[in-house]
Structure formats: C-alpha cells, structure tokens
C-alpha cells in the first residue's frame, strides 16, 4: 500500500478514535482536542513521511497553536 494512503487512513482512524474517547471521558476543553490532533498529525507525519506537493503549512500552524496552548498551561501552573 502506498505510504501516502496509509498515512491518511491512519490519521483518519486516530482522529475518529480520539474524539469519542475524549468525549466519553468527559473532556470538554477545546485545547485538549487541539493538542491531541496536533500530536497525532505530527506523529503520523514523522512515521510515514507522506509526500507533499507544497510546504506543510498545517504542520506549522498546528505546532504554533500547540506551543501557545502549552505555554498558557505552564503559565497557569507557575502563577498558582
């Protein structure tokens, strides 16, 4: 199977499983969902290295959002 198709299938399955699992655990914070989706995307990208026709802008955007979320959480912990 082509690694591009495999990467897309695995990413889809991971996201489809993450949402109901977090929901069943009672998680309602948007930052948790975004963090998990970002980690899943970056892990699939690192493992399968799917070919892109252009620069991987979603990766940059998701990484920036993830850094902001983590920075905010660290700030909350340090200010307590």
List per-block mean pLDDT (blocks of 10 residues) for the chain, which spans 80 residues.
88 95 94 92 88 82 91 93
- Structural domain containing residue 48: 3-79
Q: How far apart are CA 80 and CA 70, in angstroms?
A: 16
Tell me, letter by letter, the H, E, C secondary structure of 1-55.
CCHHHHHHHHHHHHHHHHHHHHHHCCCCCHHHHHHHHHHHHHHHHHHHCCCCCCC
What pLDDT does residue 51 have?
A: 77
**pLDDT of res. 40:** 94
Per the structure, how many domains does the chain have? 1
- State the distance between the two ends of the chain, measured CA to CA, in whole angstroms: 51
């Amino acid at each position: 199977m082509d690694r591009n198709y495999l990467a897309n299938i695995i990413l889809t399955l991971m996201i489809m499983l993450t949402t109901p699992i977090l929901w069943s655990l009672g998680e309602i914070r948007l930052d948790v969902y975004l963090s998990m989706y970002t980690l899943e995307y970056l892990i699939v990208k690192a493992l399968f290295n799917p070919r892109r026709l252009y620069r991987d802008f979603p990766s940059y955007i998701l990484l920036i959002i993830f850094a902001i979320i983590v920075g905010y959480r660290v700030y909350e912990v340090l200010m307590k």
